Structure 1
Amino acid sequence: SNQWSGDADAPSTDRLLNTDHRLLNTASPRVVVTRSREQAGEFADRLAAADFTPVIFPVIEFAALPPEPLDAALNNLSQYDWLIFTSINAVAFFFQRAEERGVQVEGVAVAAVGSATAVQLNERGLPADFMPDEFTGEQLALGLGDLTGKRVLLPRAKLGRPKIVELLRQQGAEVDDVALYDTVTAVPTPAALADLAAGFDAITFTSPSSVRNFVNLTSLQNLSNLAHAVIACIGPVTAAEAAKFNLRVDLIPDEYTIGGLVQVLREHFVMKGVKHKA
C-alpha cells in the first residue's frame, strides 16, 4: 500500500544518514531533532520508521557538576522517604555516581515524572513507586499528598525547575535538591549545519533549553525556514518557552513523550495529504 504507514520496517543506517536532500514536502518530510546527540538516536529511528527524514541538529550537551553534594546525599540515602526523578538525565547522572561510589539504591520510595524516566528506572531495577498521570513536576508534587515530616531527595539539572521544590515544601516536605549536571549549548558540526541549511518541513523541541539554544545557535539565518516549518513541542513548558521567542507552536502531543511527538507529526502530515512513495 502507498498509504502513510507507521509500521514500516526499521530504518537501515543508510536511510538515517541519507544525504540525498529531497525537495521539501515530498514523500518523506524532513524533521529536525534538536535533542542531545546521546538522546537523538531513538527519536530519529522512530521518525524514520514513520516515513520522516530525521535531520539531527543537537543543540544541547550535558556536563556533570562537581559531585560533593550528591556524594553527601548518597552517603545518607536511607534518611530519605522519597527519591524524585524528573528527567532521564537525572537518572543517568545519579546512577552513574552511585555505581562509582558502590552505593546500592534501595530502601527509599521512588517517584518519576514521565514514562521515559520510569523506563530508565525500570532498566536499573528500581521501578517507580509513583508516577503522575500528567507528566509534570506539579502533578507529581500534588500526587504525593501530605509530606509533613518527610525528607525528599531531588537530583536535577542545574537549571532545573525549582517550582517543584516549592510545591513539595508546601506539602510539608524537607527537600534536598541536588544539581547533578548542567545543560550547555552544543557546538554544531559543519555537517549538521549543512543538513539544517538544506531545509526542513518540521522542527521538534523537547525542552525549554532546546528552544533557547536553537534560537541562539541559528540566530536569524533560519528564521525564514522556520516561518514555513511546522513547530512541534513535547509539552506545555517547552511550548511556553517557544512563545517567549515569538515562535508559533503548531503541535503539542496529548502525551508529553517522543512517541506522542511522532504521532502528532504523522497526523499533521497525513491531514496535509502526504503519502509515502509506493
Structure 2
Amino acid sequence: MSDLQGKRILITREAKQAKVFSEKISASGGIPVEVPLLKISNKVAENREFIFAKLPSYHWVIFTSANGVHCFFEQLPNHLTSLLENIKIAVVGHKTEEALKQYQFVADLMPEVYDADSLAEIFLKKYQAGETILLVRGNLSRDVLPRVFTKKGIGFDAIEVYETQMNRESAALLKRVIAADEIDFITFTSPSTVEAFAELSGNYTAIPCVCIGTTTKKAAEEHGFSSILTAQIFTIEGMIEEMRNHIN
C-alpha cells in the first residue's frame, strides 16, 4: 500500500467537488467515503442587473472561492465578459485562480496563504484610494473582507451568486457510516462542512478530523473535536499530505 495505507477517509464536501478529492485520495492509497453534507447552487441576486450594468466602472473584482467564479460567469451575459479584461482580479487562492483560468482570465493578485485574512492584508497594500471594488460572494461567505473594507472606509459592492445549504438528505447515510466505526479520518474543507457534520451526526467528534485551513480548524475546535490535523498549504492536496505525515 502507498502513503495513506488503506485508511478510510470521509469526504464531506459538496458532491461535484468530492469527486476530485476522492480521486486524489485513491491515488494516494486511501479509501474515500463520500457523504456530501452541502448542496451548492446558483443564486440570482436581487442586485444582479444593477451590478452587471455597473461592471465597466469597477477597478477590482474579488473572488473568494471557485464556486463564486463559476456561478459568476454562468450568470454574466457573454457580451459583458470582455469588460473584465480591463478590471484587476484578486482571488483567495490557486484553486480559485484555476477556476478563473477556465474562463481565460488570470488573477492579478493572490496571497501566499489561501484565506480571506491574507487576501485582505495584501489587497490593502495594492489598493489605491478611490478605486471601486466588486466582491463576489456566497450566502455563507465569511465577513472578513467586508469588515476590513468598512473599517478602512473603503466603499465596495457585493453580489451573492451562489447558495450553500445543508444536505439533510445525507443524514441517514452519515449516521450509518459513523456507526460502522470504519472511518479513520473526517475531512472538512470549510466551516460549513464542520457545522453540517455536527448537526447531521449529532455532534459526534471522536474521529480525528483534517481541516483545510485555520478558519475551518477553529470551527472544528468550537464543535468539540479534540484530534485535529490542519493542512500547512490550504488545499485538498495539503490535507492529503497532512494525513500522510500523521500516518507515517
Identity %: 29
Moved over 6 A (4+): none
Query: 3-state DSSP class of the match of 1:103?
Result: helix
Query: 3-state DSSP class of the match of 1:89?
Result: helix
Q: Once the 2 structures are TM-superposed, how far is the Cα of residue 168 of structure 1 from its aligned partner? A: 2.7
Q: Letter of the 1:77 partner, please give it.
A: L
Question: Where does residue 154 of structure 1 map in the other structure?
Answer: 135
CA–CA distance in structure 1, aligned partners of residues 186 and 162 of structure 2: 26
Gaps in structure 1 of 5+ consecutive residues:
7-26, 271-278
Of 125, 132, 135, the residue aligned with 2:114 is: 135
CA–CA distance in structure 2, aligned partners of residues 191 and 122 of structure 1: 36
Larger radius of gyration: 1
Question: Where does residue 193 of structure 2 map in the other structure?
Answer: 210
Is contact 1:234-1:252 (8 Å) kept?
A: yes
Q: Once the 2 structures are TM-superposed, how far is the Cα of residue 171 of structure 1 from its aligned partner? A: 4.4
Question: Where does residue 244 of structure 1 map in the other structure?
Answer: 222
Alignment length (residue pairs): 242
Of 183, 191, 210, the residue aligned with 2:164 is: 183
1:261 counterpart = 2:227: no
Is contact 2:42-2:161 (8 Å) kept?
A: yes
1:39 counterpart = 2:22: no
Is contact 2:116-2:145 (8 Å) kept?
A: yes
1:219-230 correspondence to structure 2 within 5 Å? 219=202, 223=204, 226-227=205-206, 229-230=207-208
Deviations 1:147-185 (A, max 9, x none): 421110001011211121121344453211112222101
Question: Where does residue 91 of structure 1 map in the other structure?
Answer: 69
CA–CA distance in structure 2, aligned partners of residues 94 and 39 of structure 1: 17
CA–CA distance in structure 2, aligned partners of residues 192 and 211 of structure 1: 13
Q: 1:191 to 1:139 in 2, by over 3 A?
A: closer
Deviations 1:69-124 (A, max 9, x none): 1232122211111000010111011010014x642133110000011001111121
Question: Under a length normalisation based on structure 2, what TM-score does the superposition of the two structures give?
Answer: 0.90
Of 95, 103, 109, the residue aligned with 2:80 is: 103
